[in-house]
Structure 1
């Protein structure tokens, strides 16, 4: 029997924030995968190693977690005053599905670096030394993101002393600004309320802040669902009943936010919305063994991604946290002590993170001009990925 040989595709494997993903230049993809559709999805699934019933992604580039089962496609921007178009695909691990419904804020930190190194940013916009401002069009959510990328001797500077909890080694700091981060257009609060009662049949009625900022997110009070807000991954991910309860809450929240019309649709939209729970500051020991003092944080936040508690914090969810914290009366704001604030430092399973946002209320509608955070990024490997030629 004759088998189709493998093909090789130029690719770069990068860490961005606390995530990893395979980055492609759009023009390097096979022609059939340069446009949205089944061929592109099948190609990315095979690159990552999904679907994998063993849950390991051994035969692909994925790392068997939501943070490491990611793909990015970049191209010269078609938008005025932007440098690069950024398309993100979250690849499911155990089934044949690529979710294009949202952004990855962590990998955003690597987009500017890849764009510069790949020649997608005009040379006159890159200083010999200093900071290059890369204007990114986030194609999934139709939003502008600004990345401040350090440059040394005309090339991206990746090494440095900036430390990011959830990442073992220090690297160069990359400031990321999310401009008008309300996700997907429309109202930042799709129900019109900063706090709602979310009724979940068979589970209960919960106070919830449902916000479109960075990524659609449902915030709950930890105490209302039986948690302290200081949990680590093992406390939740080993409990199938808890995970099913969170997924049910997520599905009913998605309906209330207008993201889906029926519960059945939730399975086809795993990446969004996110579910997170918040609590006032409480001391705990992070997954690395680092002691986190309640005196050093404003609140604790835990968030789920692709059905599991995240090991740190998704970058887009951090934008939602920053935005909600800046708006008095949201559950996030109240957990942080209430009042007006333009920045918070929150505790997550791997440590802490500081995020900022400036909010204003105009004609009864809340607006956030931008949310800001610092991440880091680094090329891990570059060259080609190989896939069977008939995989797509």
Structure 2
């Protein structure tokens, strides 16, 4: 007879939570006040709790014992609270959870999940009820805590509740839903300049790869843009072409690490492993026909350029929302690699909006750029997303997890 005596019996605890899709990402959302007291402040207890919720670190890289789904798009957590600022409704803190390491990166935002913040805030009493119409659109004013910036989401309300269903289609999301326009105000990350080096294009020395032309931009999220052709790519690649190539992934990580040093995000490349979420690396190219991951034909005539971006070490299945902000900002500024790719290599052409092709289809983004006292400034970058509650109730974790 098998002895099933347990050597440890620590009861699980319940924590109120909501599992939401925002754009092409999913994450577990919490109200700050619902977290156990020890996790209501930044630190080890909070990180350990959220790692256990998501199911990390997982050496199998599956996150079977948690809410994550083993991709950078789904290994995410959000903590929200009513803002103490009269200019904002809600404070939004984002944590990108490493899949295989005991690490949460708090250095940046998730642009996709930003679209879900407004709906969650309305449904959970974080927006002043006097601001909510019975029917109409609510401008939810979000303070993004990670990067200390304002986001404004326009959330549709029907019969006093958030409208979630609709006919807005977003490539990378299977089903249509209600459209939520999201504006990222003054999106230069943190207090830094849009171009940390002062240049729209830099020569980036990368050992084993060579000197590369790069646009190092700090808008939405710090991003390193490289011409796809300089790395032997076309910009039409889908996930498997890069994610199944260990040498390519190692090369992109080396580029990312050296880009991070050049942007002043880290002082030595050895620190890159502890800053996995930022910067992002993206390759750009001129328009070309290709077939997306869903089988949809994307015509070169319908897009301005091609972009493929990596997140947490892998090629993203669509496009990170914050990277889309970086694309919009870079496209609006003359002479960046993004701007040149969108203009057939011609310099001196301003763009206030572009449609770019990504592995799942295409996306239109817009931004207005101006020079103020010799420095580039982006007033806002705008894109449309959608969001939906997938499940709500409580998550459970063993009581000794944090």
Task: Return the TM-score normalized by structure 1.
Answer: 0.99
Question: In the alignment, is residue 110 of structure 1 matched against residue 153 of structure 2?
Answer: no
2:64 maps to 58
Q: For residues 74-108 of structure 1, what are the alpha-carbon distances to aligned partners after superposition, in whole Å with 9 as ceiling and x for unaligned?
A: 00112231000000000000010000000000000
Question: In the alignment, is residue 309 of structure 1 matched against residue 346 of structure 2?
Answer: no
Provide structure 1 residue ranges, at least 5 long, that are not aligned to the other structure: none
1:367 maps to 377
Q: Distance in 2 between matches of 1:249 and 1:184?
A: 22
2:3 maps to none
Q: Distance in 1 between matches of 2:54 and 2:170?
A: 25
Q: Distance in 2 between matches of 1:64 and 1:2?
A: 28
SS in structure 2 of the partner of residue 11 of structure 1: strand
Counterparts in 2 of 1:43-192, with a 5 A limit? 43-192=49-198
Q: For residues 204-233 of structure 1, what are the alpha-carbon distances to aligned partners after superposition, in whole Å with 9 as ceiling and x for unaligned?
A: 100000000000000000000110000000
**Could you say what the CA RMSD is over the residues aligned between the two structures, in angstroms?**
0.6
Q: Return the offset for 1:202.
A: 2.0
1:207 maps to 213
Q: Distance in 2 between matches of 1:80 and 1:311?
A: 38
Q: Return the offset for 1:341.
A: 1.1
Q: Distance in 1 between matches of 2:84 and 2:341?
A: 41
1:344 maps to 354
1:31 maps to 37
Q: Return the offset for 1:2.
A: 4.3
Q: Distance in 2 between matches of 1:313 and 1:46?
A: 27
Q: How many residues align?
A: 392
Q: Distance in 1 between matches of 2:208 and 2:340?
A: 27
1:261 maps to 267
Q: Distance in 1 between matches of 2:26 and 2:193?
A: 31
Question: In the alignment, is residue 283 of structure 1 matched against residue 293 of structure 2?
Answer: no
Provide structure 2 residue ranges, at least 5 long, that are not aligned to the other structure: 1-6
Q: Return the offset for 1:185.
A: 1.2
Q: Which runs of 4+ in 1 moved over 3 A?
A: none
Q: For residues 224-256 of structure 1, what are the alpha-carbon distances to aligned partners after superposition, in whole Å with 9 as ceiling and x for unaligned?
A: 011000000000000000000000000000000
Question: In the alignment, is residue 321 of structure 1 matched against residue 331 of structure 2?
Answer: no
Q: Distance in 2 between matches of 1:278 and 1:385?
A: 40
